[in-house]
Amino acid sequence: MTDTLTPGIVAGRLSAKEIAANFADLHAPLDPHEAAVAADRCYFCYDAPCVTACPTDIDIPLFIRQIATGQAEAAGHTIFEQNILGGMCARVCPTEDLCEGACVREMAEGKPVEIGRLQRYATDAVMARQDHPFSRAAATGKRIAVVGAGPAGLSCAHGLARRGHDVVVYEAKAKPGGLNEFGIAAYKSTDDFAQAEVAWLMQIGGIEMRHGCALGRDVALAELEADYDAVFLGIGLGDVNALDVAGATREGVGDAVGFIADLRQAADLTALPVGRNVVVIGGGMTAIDAAVQSKLLGAETVTVAYRRGQDRMGASRYEQDLATSKGVRILCNVSPVAIHGNGAAVEIELEYTREAGTDLTGTGETIRLPADQVFRAIGQTLAPPDGIARAGTKLSVSGPGRTTRDKVWAGGDCTPGDDLTVVAVAEGRDAAADIHAVLMGDAG
C-alpha cells in the first residue's frame, strides 16, 4: 500500500491536466481508414506464423481479411470465438513477442502488421453493439463453481455458460476482473474497460457472481466439490515475495502490486501520493508498470533495479523501451542489500552482481541511490489449496487443466506457464471444454 506518512511521498506533484495527458490511452484506437490501411499490409499467409504464436489460436489472417473487406463485426466474432477477452488482450498482450513478433512483415521489413490494434478495432466494433454475439445452449442441469473472476475464471465461466451449464463465480475482491482490473498499467486500459468487458461477457447469461468469497476463508474446496458438479480454480497468485534486506520494513517501502492496485482504483490520480525518488526492485512487467506510472504521477527520478543483465528481464524489450522513453532509468546487475533512513526510507544500497552461467554472485562493490519510496516487484507466490499436487509453487495440472482431484480443474497464473492474460484466457477456455466433455460423458 502507498505510505502517506513518509515526508517525500506526497500527492499532487502534477496538475490534473498533466495527469490526464500522462495516463491517456497508450495506443489510440484506429479509425476505419487507418484500419483498412493497416489490414492491407497483411500477406494473409497460409499456415501463418502469427497464428502459431497466439496462445488462443485466433485465425489472424481471416479476421484481418474481414477488416480489409469492411466486415469489422465479423472480424470481432472470429476473434471472440477463440478468445472471449479479445478486447483486453488487444490492449495488454505483448504482441511484440507473440503474433507481431512472428509476423512475416516483421521478419522482412522490421515493421509487423499492427495485429493488436486491428484486434482492438474489431472487438470494439462488436462490443459497441448492445446484444451479446453468443447465445446459450439448452440447459444441461449441471452446476459448476468457478473460483476467481480473473481472465482464466471469466473465460472458463463464459465457455461453460455458453454450453448450457449454470455457473457461480466466487471472487474474493469487491470487483471482478482480476489482474485486468487491479494489476496492469492504467494507460493500457482506459475508460474502465475491464469492468465494461466483464459486463459485456456476463450478457451470455447463466453466470452468477459472488463477491467477497475467498477460497479457504469464506468457502472450502471440499464444500464446493460437494455442492457442484465440477470446480475450476482461477485463483491467481495472492502473495507477494518479501524483500529480505536490512531496512525492508521502513516507511516508504511497499510492494508494486499494491501500488498498481491503488492506482487503478483511485478516483483522482492527483490525490495519489508518490515519492520524489522512486526505486523499483525487479525486472518483470509489474516492475515496469510501477516504474512508468510513478514517473507519470510526477516522481522526479525513477529507477528499475534488476539483479541480472537487461536481456534477462522478464519485461519485453518494447516495455523496457517504453519505460526509458518516459524517463525511467534501468539499472541492471545490481541487487539490494539495505534500505537506509531514520524510520523512513532515504536511500537504497545496491551491490553490483556478476553472472556466471545460472549463478549470480555479489562483487562487493556497492552504490547508493536516493530513495524515499521503494517498491518490490520480485514475484508473487501461491498458497495452494490442500489436497492438490503442486508443480513447484503452483498447482500441478495435466492436459486442459485437470488437477489431481477428480472434480477440480485449474488455470491461469496459479498453474505452470507464462503469466499472461492471453495464456490465462486460453487455459480457462480449454478447461471449460474439457469440463463439459467430462460432465456430458464425451471425454476421451
Cβ 57 vs Cβ 89: under 8 Å? no
Q: Give yes or no: residues 291 and 210 share one domain.
A: no
Q: Among the three residues 127, 153, 176, which one is the final residue of a domain in this structure?
A: 127
What is the reported pLDDT for 357? 83
Q: Give yes or no: residues 212 and 295 share one domain.
A: no
Evaluate whether residue 5 is within a structural domain: no
Q: Give yes or no: residues 212 and 290 share one domain.
A: no
Domain with 369, as residue range(s), is 16-23+240-376
Q: Give yes or no: residues 303 and 244 share one domain.
A: yes
Q: Give yes or no: residues 227 and 244 share one domain.
A: no
Q: Give yes or no: residues 227 and 273 share one domain.
A: no
Q: Give yes or no: residues 195 and 213 share one domain.
A: yes
What is the reported pLDDT for 385? 87
List the CATH number of the domain containing 149.
Answer: 3.50.50.60
Q: Tell me the mean pLDDT in the region 255-280.
A: 97
Beta strands at 334-340 and 347-356: parallel, antiparallel or unpaired: antiparallel
What is the reported pLDDT for 332? 97
Evaluate whether residue 230 is within a structural domain: yes
Q: How many domains does the chain divide into?
A: 3
What is the reported pLDDT for 444? 59
Question: pLDDT tens digit string along 394-417?
Answer: 999 999 999 999 999 999 999 999
Question: pLDDT tens digit string along 23-39?
Answer: 999 999 999 999 999 99
379 three-state secondary structure: coil
Q: Give yes or no: residues 393 and 313 share one domain.
A: no
Evaluate whether residue 6 is within a structural domain: no
Q: Give yes or no: residues 202 and 149 share one domain.
A: yes
Contacts with 221 (C-beta within 8 Å, 6 or more apart), sequence order: 215, 231, 385, 386, 387, 405, 408
374 three-state secondary structure: strand
CA distance 241 to 237: 11
Name the grid cell of 154. 471469466
Q: Give yes or no: residues 371 and 432 share one domain.
A: no
Evaluate whether residue 136 is within a structural domain: no
Q: Give yes or no: residues 350 and 297 share one domain.
A: yes
Evaluate whether residue 2 is within a structural domain: no
Q: Tell me the mean pLDDT in the region 154-162.
A: 98
Q: Give yes or no: residues 308 and 366 share one domain.
A: yes
Any idea which of 16-20, 48-52, 206-210, 439-443 has the lowest mean pLDDT?
A: 439-443
Q: Tell me the mean pLDDT in the region 106-124.
A: 96
Evaluate whether residue 4 is within a structural domain: no
CA distance 77 to 65: 13
Cβ 342 vs Cβ 247: under 8 Å? no
Whether this model's pTM surpasses 0.75: yes
List the CATH number of the domain containing 103.
Answer: 1.10.1060.10
